């Protein structure tokens, strides 16, 4: 480490300078003072060297671990970036490398292949991967609710899923459509005969151009993109009242989303389970930090180079906090009823062929991490959490 070598070099120079000073001494008194100075300088230099060596040894003892994200840097993953920035992982003896996602990166595959110890993935996508042999275990359900919406114009006449009949309904596909198709069936409609499913890009262009009657959106991303756009009729930004939003949490077909997944064989090793618990403690500290230090957390995300602007990242963190907090059982602890609902939707839509086996999720590690943090006086449930009022900015800048 560069700074360690500089400390060592600085200590050596101090000792040399002190010895030179003693060699230039005149009378015995001066010589005695110089000698004492040299001895003191030598002691300080030795102490500095020893401290530097100890610091380097401590750094070398950090356990390297990797976290694979679903997408590029953005506030969706703020808690992890904050935990790195604040030294929470290092405090737990971990040296975390965050791996950004991309269109062609599947976190489940990365974790299953051993290229990352931890990965973030939606529950239904991971369950599909498990049926294909991935062997993944959910160790922390960070998002307690779904962030998926279906958005229409207020003048479209669409107020509930039954109103989608005969309409063009947008979805991204790629495993993101299951909440929508389940809601269509629940409303008594046939997804293949009663509605026209349109493959939409990962933006809101089709809705803005009125090429679809409804478009899929995340509360923390695409929905904001509409509000950040200018209404050509008014010259002002679109307003929430210009839109009708169907929230799948309200409909009852919501599925659990961002969770921490690990390889089942890896976590079966008790030493790795201990590493995972430390990882979760640090991670939960990061999310608590982002709840309680909102602006500082946004700054941390921005410092890590997101592709979207400050306004959008601010909106996104506010919405992400709503998905994490409150956490009734403590952050990361699974809500068994929401797990069951996710499995029911997944099986009813033939997303998976059968309910996953017991052990597909475990909450013991998250519960242990929560207990430790709660013992330190941290608020691990966020029962009094209230979102902020965030100003929408043009283009999310």
Q: Quick: pLDDT tens for 108-129.
A: 999 999 999 999 999 999 999 9
| pLDDT by position in tens, the chain (length 397) | 322 333 333 343 333 333 233 333 334 444 443 444 444 445 554 455 454 444 444 456 999 999 999 999 999 999 999 999 999 999 999 999 999 999 899 999 999 999 999 999 999 999 999 999 999 999 999 999 999 999 999 999 999 999 999 999 999 998 899 999 999 999 999 999 999 999 999 999 999 999 999 999 999 999 999 999 999 999 999 999 999 999 999 999 999 999 999 999 999 999 999 999 999 999 999 999 999 999 999 999 999 999 999 999 999 999 999 999 999 999 999 999 999 999 999 999 999 999 999 999 999 999 999 999 999 999 999 999 999 999 999 999 9
What does the pLDDT read at residue 16? 30
Query: Would you state the pLDDT for residue 60?
Result: 65
Q: Contact at 8 Å (CB) between 240 and 120?
A: no
Rounded to whole angstroms, the Cα distance separating 65 from 84 reads: 12
Rounded CA gap, 260 and 265, in Å? 15
3-state SS track over the chain: CHHHHHHHHHHHHHHHHHHHHHHCCCCHHHHHHHHHHHHHHHHHHHHHHHHHHHHHHHHHCCEEEEEECCCCCCHHHHHHHHHHHCCHHHHCCEEEEEECCCCCCCHHHHHHCCCCCEEEECHHHHHHHHHCCCCEEEEEECCCCCCEEEEEEHHHCCCCHHHHCCCEEEECCCCCCHHHHHHHHHCCCCCCCCCEEEECCCCCHHHHCCCCCEEEEECCCHHHHHHCCECCCCCCECCHHHEEEEEHHHHCCCCCCCEEEEEHHHHCCHHHHHHHHHHHHHHHHHHHHHHHCHHHHHHHHHHCCCCCCHHHHHHHHHHHHHHHCCCCCCCECCCHHHHHHHHHHHHHCCCCCCCCCCCCECCHHHHHHHHHHHHCCCCCCCCCCCCCCCCCCHHHC
Cis peptide before 326 (omega within 30 of 0): yes
Q: Rounded to an integer, what distance in angstroms lies between the CA atom of residue 147 and that of residue 166?
A: 26
The tokens describing 58, both together, are 């401590």
For 199-220, give one letter per residue: b (16+ CB within 10 A) or e. ebeeebebbbeeebbbbbbbbb
221-233 burial: b if 16+ Cβ within 10 Å, else e: bbbbbbbbbeeee
Say what the pLDDT of residue 175 is: 84
* 8 Å CB contact between 88 and 300: no
140 φ, ψ to 5°? -160, 120
Position 23 scores a pLDDT of 33
Contacts 24+ apart (CB under 8 A), 300-308: 300/78, 300/81, 300/82, 300/85, 301/73, 301/74, 301/75, 301/78, 301/81, 303/85, 304/73, 304/81, 305/73, 306/72, 306/73, 306/74, 306/75, 307/72, 307/73, 307/74, 308/74, 308/396
Do residues 136 and 262 lie in contact, with contact meaning Cβ atoms separated by under 8 Å? yes
Question: Which pLDDT belongs to residue 44?
Answer: 53
**Structure token digits, residue 245:** 């939003």
**What is the number of alpha carbons within 13 Å of residue 138 lying toward its C-beta?**
29
pLDDT of amino acid 274: 98
């Amino acid at each position: 480490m560069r700074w360690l070598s500089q400390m060592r070099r600085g200590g050596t120079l101090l000792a040399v300078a002190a010895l030179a000073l003693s060699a230039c001494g005149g009378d015995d008194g001066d010589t005695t003072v110089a000698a004492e100075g040299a001895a003191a300088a030598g002691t300080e230099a030795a102490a500095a060297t020893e401290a530097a060596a100890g610091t380097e040894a401590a750094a070398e003892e950090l356990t390297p671990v990797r976290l694979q994200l679903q997408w590029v840097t953005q506030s969706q993953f703020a808690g992890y970036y904050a935990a790195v920035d604040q030294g929470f992982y290092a405090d737990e003896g971990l040296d975390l490398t965050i791996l950004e996602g991309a269109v062609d990166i599947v976190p489940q595959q990365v974790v299953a292949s051993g290229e990352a110890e931890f990965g973030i993935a939606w529950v239904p996508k991971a369950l599909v991967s498990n049926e294909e042999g991935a062997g993944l275990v959910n160790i922390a359900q960070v998002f307690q609710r779904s962030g998926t919406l279906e958005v229409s114009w207020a003048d479209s006449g669409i107020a509930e899923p039954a109103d989608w009949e005969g309409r063009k309904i947008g979805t991204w596909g790629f495993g993101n459509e299951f909440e929508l198709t389940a809601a269509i069936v629940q409303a008594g409609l046939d997804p293949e005969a009663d509605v026209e499913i349109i493959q939409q890009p990962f933006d809101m262009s089709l809705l803005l151009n009125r090429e679809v009657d409804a478009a899929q959106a995340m509360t923390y991303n695409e929905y904001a993109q509409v509000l950040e756009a200018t209404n050509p009729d008014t010259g002002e930004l679109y307003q929430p009242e210009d839109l009708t939003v169907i929230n799948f949490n309200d409909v009852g077909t919501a599925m659990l989303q961002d969770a921490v997944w690990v390889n089942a064989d890896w976590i079966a090793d008790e030493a790795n389970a201990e590493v995972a618990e430390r990882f979760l403690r640090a991670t939960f500290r990061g999310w608590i930090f982002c709840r309680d230090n909102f602006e500082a957390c946004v700054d941390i995300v921005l410092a890590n180079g997101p592709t979207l602007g400050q306004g959008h990242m601010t909106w996104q963190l506010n919405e992400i906090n709503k998905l994490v907090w409150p956490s009734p059982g403590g952050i990361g602890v699974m809500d068994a009823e929401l797990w069951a609902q996710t499995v029911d939707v997944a099986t009813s839509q033939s997303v998976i062929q059968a309910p996953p086996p017991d052990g597909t999720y475990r909450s013991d590690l998250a519960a242990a991490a929560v207990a430790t943090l709660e013992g330190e006086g941290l608020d691990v449930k966020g029962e009094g959490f209230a979102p902020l009022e965030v100003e929408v900015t043009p283009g999310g800048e």
